[in-house]
Amino acid sequence: MIDLRSDTVTRPTAAMRQAMFAAEVGDDVYGEDPTVNRLEAVAAERLGKEAALFLPSGTMANQVAIRCHTQPGDEVILEAGAHPFHYEAGAAAMISGVLLRLLPGVDGALDPAQVQAAFRGPDVHVAPQTLVCVEDTSNRGGGTPWSLAALDQVAAVAHAAGAATHMDGARLWNAVVATGVPADRRARGYDTVAFCLSKGLGAPVGSLLCGPAALIGRARRVRKALGGGMRQAGFLAAAGLYALDHHVERLALDHARAADLAAGLRGLGLAPSPAPTNMVYVEVEDAPATVEALRARGVLCNAVGPSRLRLVTHLDIDDEDVAAAVDAFRQVRGG
């Protein structure tokens, strides 16, 4: 099967498994896992933040951040396609008791003036607007990296209004490779940044939440409360350290393959999204039926709407897989 459903489906490479096997471990709830401690230090350093916390998932990293930045009854401002609204099972309401205020974006990015206009000032009628979240790259925005100017300006507008800022950088490394702008620079205006090891970087599990030491200390307690305190997690952290050392630059290959896939689909008369990183979205007449027809031809992808498909390239997809996927589309379209 050629699995283009997500970059979450990768399995650890042989070299990554070796690194996991050799990991030195301890009980991380006691803070005694040397490999987790090293991963947290490396993550904080690369993001230009004081501290970092290793968590089981991107969802937990976002939710711990929201919990640490807000009080129940607060309002969180995000773009309308944001992951915490679409795909985190209502957790922001369940765990933090916050309102999510969705603003329409372009390719997943918000206009700073629009964020400015969303702040309604101190008024007894208004929920305290204490957090603005951005997603870089934007998943439902086509895998598009934000412009640096928009990242900086949205952060500045939020801070001027007294709100904190959080970046969901699940695919931050894709944005870094696609734009050439370093991670710590993209993240500069953001109080906290979450990034995933288990997507394009190809690790089996894990995300890092990076930010000020005092907040990360509180985040450690929230992680424990949510059942995310792991014990000999160094086996997983070792995969993450390996991924940060060996799997960042190669994301350019995934991006080139997504562009090839989009070009192939264009050649069949379809109108795919531009694929600036590792995602291709394409409109078809009947998305669920197309998913089934492609599956029958050995290609997996996700329907993300009645007529919209998402295809994602990653570590386990090579050039032949891309060519075979285009061919499967050709067959399904009766070409």
Binding site for ligand TLP (CB under 6 A): 6, 8, 57-59, 62, 83, 87, 135, 139, 168, 170, 196, 198, 207
Nearer to ligand TLP, 37 or 302 (CB): 302
Quote the least distance from Cβ 286 to ligand TLP, whole Å: 21
Strand partners, 138: 144
One DSSP character per residue, 145-203 reads PPPHHHHHHHHHHHHHTT-EEEEEETTHHHHHHHH---HHHHTTT-SEEEEESSSTT--
Q: In this structure, what token pair is assigned to residue 45?
A: 């350093």
Quote the least distance from Cβ 5 to ligand TLP, whole Å: 7
Nearer to ligand TLP, 40 or 168 (CB): 168
Nearer to ligand TLP, 35 or 139 (CB): 139
- Whole-angstrom CA distances from 120 to 51, 60, 92, 101 are 32, 29, 21, 12
Peptide linkage before 59 cis (omega within 30 of 0):
no
Nearer to ligand TLP, 127 or 248 (CB): 248
Residue nearest to ligand TLP (CB): 58
Quote the least distance from Cβ 315 to ligand TLP, whole Å: 14
Nearer to ligand TLP, 119 or 187 (CB): 187
Nearer to ligand TLP, 119 or 233 (CB): 233
- CA–centroid distance for 22 within its chain: 28
| Residues listed for the chain | 335
Quote the least distance from Cβ 272 to ligand TLP, whole Å: 17
Quote the least distance from Cβ 196 to ligand TLP, whole Å: 5
Nearest to 314 by CA among 277, 264, 281, 271: 277
- CA–centroid distance for 334 within its chain: 35
Helix axis angle, 319-332 relative to 251-267, nearest 10°?
A: 20
Quote the least distance from Cβ 77 to ligand TLP, whole Å: 16
One DSSP character per residue, 208-248 reads EEEE-HHHHHHHHHHHHHTT---SSTHHHHHHHHHHHHHSS
Nearer to ligand TLP, 192 or 207 (CB): 207
- Dihedral sign computed on CA atoms, order 56, 57, 58, 64: negative
Nearer to ligand TLP, 220 or 310 (CB): 310
Quote the least distance from Cβ 158 to ligand TLP, whole Å: 19
